[in-house]
Amino acid sequence: MTGALLLTSASTASADYVRDGQWPLTVYDAEKVWETSRGADVTVAVVDSGVDASHVDLTGQVLPGKDFTGSDNPQQDNAGHGTGMASLIAGHGHGANGAAGVMGLAPESKILPVRVDTSENNVDTAALTAGIRYAVDQGASVINLSIGDSSAYPGSKAAEAIAYAQDHDVVVVAATGNDAGTVSYPAALPGVVAVSAVDQSLGFWGKSNTGNVTVAAPGVQTPQADPTSPSGYVKADGTSGSAAYVSAIVALLRSEYPNLSAGQTINRLIKAASFLENKGKKAPDSQLGYGIARPGSALTMDIPAGPKEGPLAKASTSTNSGAASDGDDSKTQAKKKSKSSSGGILVIAGIAAVVVVIAILFAVIRSRRNRGNRGGGPGSGGGTPGYPVGYPQQPPTGQQPYPYPPDAGQSQGYPTPPGQPPRHGQ
């Protein structure tokens, strides 16, 4: 499919200045996409600053959720960020026919708010860990992490929680970061769908972090709900919004293809992605990954399901669940391995001893024969000492954590809506 087809305009123009600004819906030809799927029966966990369930564009979409900040109110959002992500995923707009406000790309999905402390621009690790596990146990099939957390490095408790989600057939989507650096954790963890941003021309947004990117999505000047703004809305730049849009696409896929595993769902997402007008790119590209995510194509293309584990590498599952039984199993495995190794060493030692005895006997016999055969010349010289075929390679250096603020992109608040907002064509 060409970029021109992807950029099909919506058939009608709205009369709402917020909705008119939602260029991603136009790019994705959302009305056409919704003929196939609207995300019904899918729960998307938004692990963030909370979600304001009373926002006019989210009423009825937000589940009770849980607060890990100690305030015991997951539906409170003092930062506005979590509400914004929820609106891009499951917003239903408001007014006549829902034509005003923010419409999410998966408007029939449900949002599970998981509130964590983002006030210091560095997510509380314990809350993040507990929140992810909570989301899994509550039945979320998609987890959106539009956050930056420097402590979610491989081997950390937060990384184990993400692996726990993956082990339970959950698709984890995360923002790559907004400081033009290297893909940040948790997006850099194995198996996580790492999302960078593109602008209105579908060109790469220069502040997106790069490296191990999975796909890209709209993330520049995206209107979203924000209860902290006087108008209730902001326009924002950042990979946070890009990740939210990809989480919405995953929700559409999981609704339409409920029998596909998380890995197979990711496979559809990747196989349907395209570089479009970004010429000269080869997958996986450090900026766009496998391309710009395309919901319509992902929903309708003839794509073989593929293996259940999907195309992305996963972390080892041997110690991911964190359950006591798993720890016992690990110890048992270690003991078995130790016994097996010891047994192997004993067998090898026995064989070596036999070989030594035979060699000594052979040398004695040969010596006697040489002494008895005086006409014989000296024996041939010894062989050259052997060298290993290859040298062990230095293990690859792990990517270092690179923290970034949960909402590092610029946000521009909308003015309070005028009485008669101007009508803009699409």
What local confidence, expressed as pLDDT, does residue 219 receive? 97
How much is the pTM?
0.75
Q: Residue 15 gets which letter from DSSP?
A: S
- Closest among 9, 12, 11, 21 to 225, alpha carbons compared: 21
What local confidence, expressed as pLDDT, does residue 232 receive? 96
Residues 367-376 have pLDDT tens digits of 333 333 333 3
Q: Residue 87's pLDDT band (boundaries 50, 70, 90)?
A: very high
Q: Which has the higher per-residue pLDDT, 89 or 399?
A: 89
* Range with lowest mean pLDDT among 8-17, 26-35, 36-45, 386-395: 386-395
What local confidence, expressed as pLDDT, does residue 412 receive? 63
Q: Per-residue pLDDT for 320 more than 60?
A: no
Average pLDDT over residues 138-146: 98
What local confidence, expressed as pLDDT, does residue 415 receive? 54
Q: Residue 15's pLDDT band (boundaries 50, 70, 90)?
A: low
What local confidence, expressed as pLDDT, does residue 413 receive? 62
What local confidence, expressed as pLDDT, does residue 57 receive? 98
Catalytic positions:
48, 81, 240
What local confidence, expressed as pLDDT, does residue 258 receive? 98
Q: Which has the higher per-residue pLDDT, 158 or 411?
A: 158
Highest mean pLDDT among 15-19, 282-286, 336-340: 282-286
Average pLDDT over residues 209-220: 97
* Range with lowest mean pLDDT among 18-22, 108-112, 406-410: 406-410
Average pLDDT over residues 336-343: 36
Q: Residue 236 gets which letter from DSSP?
A: E
What local confidence, expressed as pLDDT, does residue 411 receive? 60
Percent of the chain with pLDDT over 90: 65
Neighbours of 409 (CB within 10 A): 22
Q: Residue 119's pLDDT band (boundaries 50, 70, 90)?
A: confident
Residues 243-282 have pLDDT tens digits of 999 999 999 999 999 999 999 999 999 999 999 989 889 9
What local confidence, expressed as pLDDT, does residue 148 receive? 77
Q: Residue 123's pLDDT band (boundaries 50, 70, 90)?
A: confident
What local confidence, expressed as pLDDT, does residue 262 receive? 98
Q: Per-residue pLDDT for 329 more than 80?
A: no
Report CA 165 to chain centroid distance, whole Å.
Answer: 11
What local confidence, expressed as pLDDT, does residue 316 receive? 56
Neighbours of 96 (CB within 10 A): 8
Q: Residue 122's pLDDT band (boundaries 50, 70, 90)?
A: confident
What local confidence, expressed as pLDDT, does residue 277 receive? 86
Q: Per-residue pLDDT for 193 more than 50?
A: yes
Q: Per-residue pLDDT for 345 more than 70?
A: no
Q: Residue 157's pLDDT band (boundaries 50, 70, 90)?
A: very high
Q: Per-residue pLDDT for 211 more than 90?
A: yes
What local confidence, expressed as pLDDT, does residue 414 receive? 58
- Specify whether the CB–CB gap between 176 and 402 falls below 8 A: no
**Mind listing the domains of the chain with CATH numbers?**
3-324+404-413 (3.40.50.200)
* Residue 210 token pair: 């790069």
What local confidence, expressed as pLDDT, does residue 390 receive? 25
In degrees, to the nearest 5, what angle opens at C-alpha 112 toward C-alphas 111 and 115?
Answer: 120
* Range with lowest mean pLDDT among 9-23, 34-48, 58-72, 140-154: 9-23
